[in-house]
Amino acid sequence: MKMGQKGRAVIALGGNALGDNLPEQMAAVKITSKAVADLIEEGYSVAIAHGNGPQVGMIQDAFGLLTRAEPEKYVQFPLSVCVALSQGYIGYDIQNALREELLDRGIGAGVVSILTQVEVDPKDPAFSAPEKPIGHFMTKEEADGLVKERGYVVREDSGRGYRRVVASPKPVAVVEKDIIITLMETGHVVVCCGGGGIPVFRTEGHHLKGAAAVIDKDLAAACLAEETGAEMLLILTAVDRVSLNFGKPDEKKLDSMTAAEAERYIKEGQFAPGSMLPKVEAAVSFVKGNPGRTAVIARLEDAGAAVRGETGTRILAG
């Protein structure tokens, strides 16, 4: 089937698609590229968004070490710059692995990574209540040191140690959307909105100022899907379906749900914040009031089967 014949799809890649460090990432993207290539073979024109939680934290930590060692020579990079750096090196691995996989299948589509800025509202309440964990786990002593030294906000995370937390504002608009659309229309696969996009807000004139924040990549993917006119949002993660009563004896896996049902489950507290909740919220925001759209949450390895309706959880307008 010709690429793009079925329309446009935006893929949101979860953390299992990238691993937690560079060696893991190089191995993981080979599996990821097969899943994405399956979707392209199904006939979709594809844009790919991805997370960067461990990577952006490692970048900032690395520059922090340089800053402490030689403060007269190095300055601490803003978080927005660290997001940009993470987009570059993650995109580099994804585009090379996917290019190789596509050529092995006889598909000549180009693959390109775009440094993508995503506009946020400076008045978003998330800036006064940071909650998005980034970077590595720390002891309490290490965390206290960063609070004193840099003014970071840190939080204990599930009994595994302390992590820095930053604001996670909602995406408003993808700045480079027109470029992304043009590339998709001309048969290219686009890696974009890495880490949810470089968070920026408008100031005087046409200036865009970086924000100390990390945008949730699932919500950014939904925004990207909306702005590029995609018919499908495919959120790939580590589980095969969305579940009610997850991890309990009466756990129930869902093959499908309407936006209204999903909103009811959200109010019931069925989905864990920072895990399944933003995925379901992103799916709802994309399909609600739009019967021509479909969102699917599925396991990474099942991408092709998920778009065919053989697995995964489909979220429909209702």
Residue positions annotated with a catalytic role: 15-16, 132, 217, 279
Spatial CA neighbour of 132 closest among 237, 68, 218: 218
Distance between CA 211 and CA 270 in Å, rounded? 31
C-beta separation of 44 from 3 below 8 A: yes
Burial (Cβ within 10 Å: 0-12, 13-18, ≥19) of residue 10: buried
Burial (Cβ within 10 Å: 0-12, 13-18, ≥19) of residue 29: buried
Question: For residue 157, how many other CB atoms are within 10 A of its CB?
Answer: 15
Burial (Cβ within 10 Å: 0-12, 13-18, ≥19) of residue 89: middle
C-beta separation of 154 from 164 below 8 A: yes
Sheet of 111-113: strand order equals: 111-113, 189-191, 44-50, 7-13, 232-237, 294-299, 313-316, 256-258
CA distances from 207 to 119, 154, 174, 318 (A): 12, 31, 15, 41
DSSP bridge pairs for 163: 155
C-beta separation of 279 from 235 below 8 A: yes
In single-letter form, the type of residue at position 4 comes to G
Sheet of 153-156: strand order equals: 132-138, 162-166, 153-156
